[in-house]
Structure 1
């Protein structure tokens, strides 16, 4: 695959799992940073649907982060080996998106300190335990390998790894009861290309 351009903000957000997958695959791409500080009507007009991330591939623009991730996962071998594996991947990814949007998004964009504190409390005490319990069950169901499908990394592992990064910034103890999620993080970070990327990427809260 050649001439891939990924356009996204200078933060992790909905573009990061795509970056992680591409780095893990050793796939070259141009990471086009869209400054969040200058995001406005002019920038939105350049995108397919007024939002990022989007990619430019073979001269065409494509939007929707999950669709982009699924495309690269299929092309680069991160969608499991069977149709059942692919179903497990999609199940975990879409479940994770239920947590990311609206809950983590609302927490991130909130400027009201009182409202943000309320959202943080809800995430720590209600949503993280619920969703991380779901993720843990899926991992255990797959044989406690630390992968969501099969015995190797898939799109689901990158998506949920990144959301866990955000969660740990909100509650550093949130993974305490979830050994399989801790193993998942170790599996992702064991990939040399991922380890190198994580060592040099800018820090962001989401």
Structure 2
């Protein structure tokens, strides 16, 4: 809820907040990059969540970890030498990517380490004053739970 605005659906909420806070990209290229990386991140999150909630989680973990390097490489290549996925400007997809990379790094510690640009990217996001303040708070230091209690992984505070 935002005043008289009542919404459901994560994608619609992200797009609304992105427009409201000028986080969709100021150029057509930045808007296209935002849309693409948001879409890729939604797909990657869905695959990860499917594995986390699946009763065959342990069987699925190996294949997921085998694919994780390629997924991270895709993000690394897409980011390239840019500061953010929108180029020099922050876009709402950056928050989605940050969240997913952080969760993956909890799932498979150190998985981001071989991608210097992704490590620097995570540090840039964490240096945003409001995010830095949150991460230094008691709530921000707590890791998890990432999923509901019925999940096979990420259902408890780490």
Q: TM-score range by the shorter chain?
A: 0.7 to 0.9
Q: Which runs of 4+ in 1 moved over 6 A?
A: none
1:59 is aligned to 2:9: no
TM-score relative to the length of structure 2:
0.82
Deviation string, structure 1 residues 129-170 (Cα, Å, up to 9, x no partner): 122111111111xxx133111212211211100001110111
1:203 is aligned to 2:147: no
Q: CA deviation at 1:205?
A: 4.1
Q: Is the 8 A contact 1:92 1:148 kept in 2?
A: yes
Q: Is the 8 A contact 1:89 1:149 kept in 2?
A: yes
The alpha-carbon distance between structure 1 residues 205 and 117, as it changes in their structure 2 partners (threshold 3 A), is: farther
Q: Is the 8 A contact 1:148 1:154 kept in 2?
A: yes
- Give the corresponding residue for 1:40: none
Deviation string, structure 1 residues 177-203 (Cα, Å, up to 9, x no partner): 222211110110001110111233243
* SS of residue in 1 equivalent to 2:6: strand
- Give the corresponding residue for 2:131: 194
**Higher normalized strand content (fraction of residues):** 1
- Give the corresponding residue for 2:71: 131
- Give the corresponding residue for 1:174: 111
Q: CA deviation at 1:63?
A: 1.1
Equivalences for 1:94-173 in 2 at 5 Å? 94-101=39-46, 103-110=47-54, 112=55, 115-126=56-67, 128-140=68-80, 144-173=81-110
Measure, in 1, the Cα distance between the counterparts of 2:60 and 2:103: 14
Measure, in 2, the Cα distance between the counterparts of 1:192 and 1:60: 27
Equivalences for 1:27-46 in 2 at 5 Å? none
* SS of residue in 2 equivalent to 1:187: helix
The alpha-carbon distance between structure 1 residues 159 and 95, as it changes in their structure 2 partners (threshold 3 A), is: same
Q: CA RMSD, aligned part only?
A: 1.6
Deviation string, structure 1 residues 54-103 (Cα, Å, up to 9, x no partner): xx1233421111221111112112122112210100100100111111x2
| Structure 2 alignment gaps of length 5 or more | 147-158
| Structure 1 alignment gaps of length 5 or more | 1-55
